[in-house]
Amino acid sequence: MLCSFSPLSAQLGNLVKDARQLSNSGRQAAQTAPSATRSTPAPTGQEQSTPSPAGQTYYVCAATGRGQLATREQPARDLSVVVPKLQPGDVVYLSGGVYTGRMDEGSDLIEVPVSIIGGWNDSFTARDPWGAHKTVLTGNNVYMKSSLERLAILTDRAYKDWDGEIVIDGIIVDNGPRNRYHLNQNLAILRKADPAGGQNPSPNTPGIKVRTGQRTRVAVRNCVVMNTAPTQGAIDLQLNKGGSAIVENNLVINNTGEGIMCKTNWHSPDAPPRFLLRNNTILFSWKYDPIGSFGGNAIMMDGNTVMTIEHNLLGFGDFGGVNNVKQCKALTLANNVFFGHKAYDYKEYNTKMGLADTEDYAQYLTPQSGGNTTATPLLPIPKSWSEIYLSRRDISREEVDASVTVSNSGENQVRGILGLPLQGNAVKTDAEIFLPLLPLADLNLQAFQRHNGAGCQNPGLTTR
């Protein structure tokens, strides 16, 4: 139960300096400064085939950008400016700042396989994506503005067989300003629009979404996704035959749906897509709505995938840690830390298990699985937000169903005679606290460290 854990506002233990959990390629993506004109995406560290040709490099700076050249000397001011120019293999570098999309639309949709690297200073000579140079993709809540994914790279239609790599590194997605909150008090999101008040619904879409064709490789590193309200993944990846993805050193915090969702477009046993999830911290995964029966998991995957989930810190799911309800039969679950989940640590089909049960009852975990533990880590969460979270009232589906009564009204008598369903009384199903706003300004990203080798840590400052 939540009351058994240490205060959420405390900081994690000493910085874990063992960088072996990050691949050499991960360090390269975080540290290498851009070239003057051209670059090629950094490798994922997974199996490589023929690399894609080098592409053009574009530069974007919220503070100094203007025009459409998007060069290092004269950057554009928003990612949306360069999207129409992009070709396969191109790279976009974004400096620190707040980006709200084309005309504050709040969404960037890219249909070309490219790489997006954030966290640069304005001169593109140093990176500090969780510190001084945060690249924040957000928006606002205005009626008829976009409710699509904040950042989407969708290449499966135009590039059905692209043997190259897509990298997203050092991006912070904060959907808080895009959400609609009850009475504007930032305590509970609303799913419906208010045309009269000029407000959009809270977007039910991912913060980061990637969908690819065959053989494409994907890397998502050093990103933060927060305050999103999707039906599925806050980070949502869908690969095809022979594709692979590495998702590492990300913070996914305070979202509905699944923290990370791994899906497939390929339904043959030949060359299913492979996913490697390591050193991510996934916290406060909420149900889709206050009485929802889905969502609320740190990680979920499709069946026809090959999954390796290792060294992740998974906590406070409204339902659980890893949901294998779709029966992925090639799942390695190793050296992860689980805590604070309400229903289970691991779910296989409809069997809910704590970690102690998986050794006996889990049917789909590979022999390489093991070393998973429970813990009571101290987390650098703002005290004010922690108190709001702990004071919420969780509404269960069973509680709502039990409160429904059927009146003996004249209308129900007629319905009974005609064999129609009887009407029950109205039941309040909203909540005063549901996905309360976690302000980015109050979240000390630099304080995030690993716990027993698991979870994310601040990528730090790197210079050219």
Structure-derived torsion over alpha carbons of residues 233, 201, 284, 251, reported in degrees to the nearest 10: 60
DSSP for 161-179, please give it.
Answer: B--SEEEEES-EEE-GGGS
Q: Is the pLDDT of residue 215 over 70?
A: yes
Q: Residue range 277-290: average pLDDT?
A: 97
Q: Residue range 18-44: average pLDDT?
A: 34
* Residue 112 CA: distances (Å) to CA of 116, 160, 252: 12, 11, 25
Centroid of chain to Cα 256: 10
The pLDDT score that the predictor gives to residue 6 is: 32
Distance (Å, rounded) from C-alpha 57 to C-alpha 36?
8
The pLDDT score that the predictor gives to residue 49 is: 31
Buried b (16+ CB within 10 A) or exposed e, 351-375: ebbebeebeeebebbeeebeebeee
Centroid of chain to Cα 298: 9
Please calculate the CA angle 218-220-226 and round it to the nearest 5 degrees. 140
Residue 240: burial class (beta carbons within 10 Å; 0-12, 13-18, 19+): buried
* Identity of the amino acid at 446: Q
Q: Which pLDDT band holds residue 210 (cuts at 50, 70, 90)?
A: very high
Distance (Å, rounded) from C-alpha 61 to C-alpha 31?
19
Q: Which pLDDT band holds residue 18 (cuts at 50, 70, 90)?
A: very low
Q: Residue range 191-199: average pLDDT?
A: 95
Q: Residue range 245-261: average pLDDT?
A: 98
Report which listed range, 33-47, 288-302, 396-410, is most confident.
288-302
Q: Is the pLDDT of residue 77 over 50?
A: yes
Q: What's 412's DSSP letter?
A: H
Beta strands in 23-102 (DSSP E): 38-39, 55-60, 91-95, 97-99
Distance (Å, rounded) from C-alpha 284 to C-alpha 2?
12
Q: Say which residue, 437 or 293, is predicted with more confidence.
A: 437
Per-residue pLDDT tens digits for 50-62: 334 469 999 999 9
Beta strands in 188-243 (DSSP E): 208-211, 217-221, 224-226, 233-239
Q: Give the number of other Cβ atoms within 10 Å of residue 35's Cβ.
A: 12
Distance (Å, rounded) from C-alpha 6 to C-alpha 251?
20
**Average pLDDT in the chain:** 86
Give the three-class secondary structure for 31: helix
Q: Residue range 248-257: average pLDDT?
A: 98
Q: Is the pLDDT of residue 14 over 50?
A: no
The pLDDT score that the predictor gives to residue 416 is: 60
Q: Residue range 77-99: average pLDDT?
A: 97
Nearest CA to 122 out of 80, 72, 61, 31 is that of 61
Kind of pairing between the strands at 38-39 and 108-110: unpaired
| Cβ-contact 204, 229 below 8 angstroms | yes
Distance (Å, rounded) from C-alpha 259 to C-alpha 230?
10
The pLDDT score that the predictor gives to residue 127 is: 98
Per-residue pLDDT tens digits for 138-190: 999 999 999 999 999 999 999 999 999 999 999 999 999 999 999 989 999 99
Q: Residue range 282-295: average pLDDT?
A: 94
Distance (Å, rounded) from C-alpha 166 to C-alpha 177?
27
The pLDDT score that the predictor gives to residue 71 is: 98
* Identity of the amino acid at 11: Q
Report which listed range, 36-40, 279-283, 426-430, is most confident.
279-283
104: left (phi over 0), alpha (psi -120 to 50) or beta: left
Q: Say which residue, 26 or 309, is predicted with more confidence.
A: 309
The pLDDT score that the predictor gives to residue 10 is: 33
* Identity of the amino acid at 339: F
The pLDDT score that the predictor gives to residue 294 is: 94
Q: Say which residue, 82 or 14, is predicted with more confidence.
A: 82
Q: Is the pLDDT of residue 413 over 80?
A: no
The pLDDT score that the predictor gives to residue 151 is: 98
Q: Which pLDDT band holds residue 30 (cuts at 50, 70, 90)?
A: very low
Q: Residue range 231-235: average pLDDT?
A: 98
| Cβ-contact 279, 456 below 8 angstroms | yes
Distance (Å, rounded) from C-alpha 261 to C-alpha 131?
27
Q: Is the pLDDT of residue 452 over 70?
A: yes
* Residue 176 CA: distances (Å) to CA of 136, 260, 280: 11, 19, 21
Q: Is the pLDDT of residue 8 over 60?
A: no
Q: Residue range 109-114: average pLDDT?
A: 98
Residue 29 CB partners (closer than 8 Å, separation 6+) = 42, 117, 167, 169, 219, 221, 222
Q: Which pLDDT band holds residue 396 (cuts at 50, 70, 90)?
A: low
Q: Say which residue, 451 or 11, is predicted with more confidence.
A: 451
Per-residue pLDDT tens digits for 352-366: 999 999 989 999 999
- Output 51-54 pairs: Cβ under 8 A, ≥24 positions apart: 51/164, 51/165, 52/88, 52/89, 52/113, 52/162, 52/163, 52/164, 52/165, 53/89, 54/89
Provide the whole-model pTM. 0.85
Q: Say which residue, 424 or 120, is predicted with more confidence.
A: 120
Token pair recorded at residue 13: 């233990």
Q: Is the pLDDT of residue 404 over 60?
A: no
Q: Which pLDDT band holds residue 26 (cuts at 50, 70, 90)?
A: very low
| Cβ-contact 138, 150 below 8 angstroms | yes
Distance (Å, rounded) from C-alpha 445 to C-alpha 464?
22
Q: What percent of the chain has pLDDT over 90?
A: 77
Q: Is the pLDDT of residue 65 over 90?
A: yes
The pLDDT score that the predictor gives to residue 411 is: 67
Q: Give the number of other Cβ atoms within 10 Å of residue 218's Cβ.
A: 26
